[in-house]
Amino acid sequence: MIRVMKSIPYGQKGALIFAPMEGVTDEPYRLAMSRLYPEWDYYSTDFYRVPTVGNISVKTLREHFGESVFKKNEIRKKTTYQILTTARAQTEDVVRAINELDVDHLDLNLGCPSKKVNAHRGGAYLLSDLDELRRIIRIIRQNFDRTFTVKIRIGYRDDSNFVDRLKLFEDEGVEAITLHARTRDQLYQGIADWSYIKEAVKNVSIPVIGNGDVWNVHDVVRMFEECGCHAIMIGRGALKTPWLATLYKEFSKNLDFISDEYLLSIRTEHLQLYFHELEKEYRKVELSDGHILKRFKSFSRYLFDDYQDGEKVRGNFLRSENLSQFKYFLDTL
């Protein structure tokens, strides 16, 4: 039985959401972000891949969301549980188990462009098969009795059936749609076409969350103004500037006060705090220095773009032979 929406997904209009990202938004990362930058209105787990065989472990499902997150009601209420599934996977069993965990918000990943994921007919591939897509949406909706949303792209190969898919989600009880304004085949190339976000807002009555090429406060303001979307989800822009939500809530009404010089002057200070708090959380789960260094390097792709000789600066961090050397470069930035 399809549930009638009782609350607004992602809260009142104007929310900023830290996007789910595989290998990034695990429990330690989300805890560090929530402590450092509580101005982010919502967070999400990285996707839980629904298995095709084997027993469903409630313990594993709970750990993916995060034991500490369950115990901290304020963070739990701001956290979405994202899953990635296929036609052959044990979707019903997993969703029932998540429902019993008393998670408030479940999101289905229909935007992942990974070649491996799509070869197994998951992620964005499902946008190319409306019948299979509808079946999976119904399974989730019938077995999860709280907020259920989807994260999509404008299409798989192209934008054919774009509006039909939007209507399918609305008709089947999905309560909000996050739209990354590229096709799967575009990956992250070119510029996201925000006109699709605007079109989605016009074609469905449920909230639409804009996503794609939001890198700074000016982009946030422009997407809200141009697209009329309910909220904005930020991925790569959040990796580049994890404190972006803080900047937006401080300066969105006074954009002239945000100069490039000011942004660069605070970047080094924030980077010190960022890596310090991340290390604290990773120590709690007993990650080794080598694993922490690997994580830090993976987060470094966009962080240093704004520095003079950014490529050289980033190269120093990526070539660090140990965690101490990485932290030395951070201290001398």
Token digits for 220? 């946030």
Q: Is the dihedral of CA 27, 28, 34, 35 positive or negative?
A: positive
Cβ(79)–Cβ(65) under 8 Å?
Answer: yes
Token digits for 67? 């034991």
Cβ(182)–Cβ(192) under 8 Å?
Answer: yes
Cβ(200)–Cβ(176) under 8 Å?
Answer: no
Q: Is the dihedral of CA 206, 212, 218, 220 positive or negative?
A: positive
Cβ(172)–Cβ(121) under 8 Å?
Answer: no
Question: Between the CA atoms of 157, 163, 166 and 171, what dihedral angle is there, to the nearest 10 degrees?
Answer: -130
Question: How far apart, in Å, do the first and last CA atoms of the chain sit?
Answer: 57
Quickly count: other Cβ atoms within 10 Å of residue 176's Cβ.
Answer: 24
Question: Between the CA atoms of 82, 126, 189 and 154, what dihedral angle is there, to the nearest 10 degrees?
Answer: -90
Q: Does residue 112 have an active-site annotation? A: yes
> Which listed residue (61, 103, 110, 112) is catalytic?
112
Phi, psi values for residue 76, rounded to 5° = -60, -40
Distance of CA 56 to the CA centre of its chain: 24
Token digits for 159? 């934008």
Token digits for 152? 């999509």
Provide the residue type at 313 as one letter.
Answer: V
* Degrees to nearest 5, angle at CA 244 with 243 and 248: 125
Residues labelled catalytic: 112
